[in-house]
């Protein structure tokens, strides 16, 4: 992969709009682009039409789909989820397989990264995704609750060497030792939350055998699980002892992924309510009261539940869409007064309140485009 290129994954529930390129073999909606555009200046990105994700990282989604049980009602935990690439991939896969009958809990322990995760989940628009910011040990209070846990754990980061010189400088054998111990703690902490017969998908962006095959073998032996055969079948994907490795190259910056099935009974006990984890995002309220006014929730416009018949819509060209995303003052002389939805290529971007001579822009300040859009 040219360092100036990129890969994206299209959102099938928002029309698969967005940059087009060569298909990623293991991702039905993945595309490798011939060059890297300025994504920030594409309104479709802000509408949740696609997500920018390394092609090799999409292999975790392929393993997830390969092992996904039939039927609905699935409860899935994406344990180390920021910035949201795997969460949005899992959400799309679950919605295609289960319709609206699933729950995906997307967790990130670091609060600053969790805020980024919240924004990306909001843009993707799936209402069945709950975002939490809890230590993995907190999920032990939900014994046997999850059917699948995806753990893309912090690692020594050798897959970042090509893009980030600092990652090379920070690497050492001691770093690997630290990562191995931390990864085992994470797996042991969250293991009680996986039901008997449930699936753990474990992945890293390093090539250290001890952090990959070694830790999955440890989990199978110490925690009680049966290893799944590696999910292979693509050029450039190498089978290892317990999983597969994608090296740095034409298809991305590298990934390792393997899976096992829990063979031991989960602890007994009544799972605590999700509310006790203090979720940062749970459901998508339509709005909130401000005096006599019902102010629409900006995230509602981005949600797959949004009904365009509830509000008048103004279809924007690229210049108007970017002005909205920049939080510029807008004038919409032909639009009705009151709350109006700005759309681009038919996809909602968010709300303004049209006052006639000007509009109040309701685009969240934290998502404002900071670049010059003129």
Maximal CA-CA distance, the chain: 69
For residue 52, CA distances in Å to 134, 234, 269 come to 25, 22, 40
Number of other CB atoms surrounding residue 5 within 10 Å: 14
Instruction: Return the closest-CA partner of residue 42 out of 62, 14, 17, 79.
Output: 17
Positions annotated as catalytic residues are: 205
Residues facing residue 107 across a β-bridge: 132
What is the Cα–Cα distance from 13 to 1, expressed in whole angstroms? 28
3-state secondary structure of 34: coil
Residues facing residue 353 across a β-bridge: 339, 360
* Long-range CB contacts (within 8 A, 24+) of 319-324: 319/373, 321/43, 321/349, 322/41, 322/43, 322/369, 322/373, 323/373, 324/349, 324/350, 324/352, 324/361, 324/363
DSSP string over 295-325? EEPHHHHHSTT--GGGS-EEE--HHHHHHHH
For residue 83, CA distances in Å to 42, 114, 124, 180 come to 19, 7, 12, 22
**Residues 102-118: b if buried by 16+ CB within 10 A, e if exposed:** bbbbbbbbeeebbeebb
């Amino acid at each position: 992969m040219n360092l100036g290129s990129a890969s994206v994954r299209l959102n099938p529930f928002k029309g698969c709009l967005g940059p087009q390129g060569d298909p990623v073999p293991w991702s039905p909606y993945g595309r490798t682009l011939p060059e890297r555009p300025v994504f920030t200046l594409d309104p479709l990105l802000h509408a949740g039409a696609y997500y920018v994700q390394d092609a090799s990282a999409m292999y975790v989604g392929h393993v997830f789909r390969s092992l996904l049980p039939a039927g609905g009602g699935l409860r899935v935990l994406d344990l180390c989820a920021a910035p949201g690439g795997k969460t949005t991939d899992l959400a799309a896969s679950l919605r295609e397989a289960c319709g609206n009958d699933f729950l995906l809990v997307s967790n990130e322990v670091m609060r600053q990264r969790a805020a980024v995760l919240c924004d990306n989940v909001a843009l993707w628009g799936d209402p069945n995704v709950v975002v939490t910011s809890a230590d993995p040990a907190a999920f032990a209070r939900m014994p046997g609750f999850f059917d699948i846990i995806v753990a893309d754990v912090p690692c020594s980061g050798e897959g970042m060497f090509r893009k980030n010189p600092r990652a090379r400088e920070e690497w050492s054998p001691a770093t690997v030792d630290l990562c191995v111990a931390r990864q085992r703690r994470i797996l042991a902490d969250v293991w009680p939350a996986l039901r008997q017969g449930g699936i753990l998908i474990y992945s890293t962006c390093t090539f250290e055998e001890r952090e990959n095959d070694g830790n999955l073998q440890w989990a199978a032996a110490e925690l009680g699980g049966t290893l799944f055969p590696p999910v292979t079948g693509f050029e450039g994907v190498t089978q290892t002892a317990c999983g597969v490795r994608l090296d740095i190259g034409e298809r991305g910056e590298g990934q390792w992924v393997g899976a096992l099935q829990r063979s031991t009974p989960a602890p007994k006990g009544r799972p605590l309510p999700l509310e006790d984890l203090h979720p940062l995002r749970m459901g998508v309220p339509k709005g909130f009261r401000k005096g006599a006014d019902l102010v629409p929730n900006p995230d509602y416009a981005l949600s797959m539940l949004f009904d365009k018949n509830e509000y008048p819509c103004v279809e924007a060209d690229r210049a108007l869409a970017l002005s909205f995303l920049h939080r510029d003052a807008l004038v919409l002389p032909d639009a009705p007064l009151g709350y109006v939805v700005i759309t681009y290529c038919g996809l909602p971007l968010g709300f303004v309140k049209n006052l006639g001579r000007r509009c109040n822009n309701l685009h969240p300040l934290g998502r404002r485009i900071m670049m010059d859009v003129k």
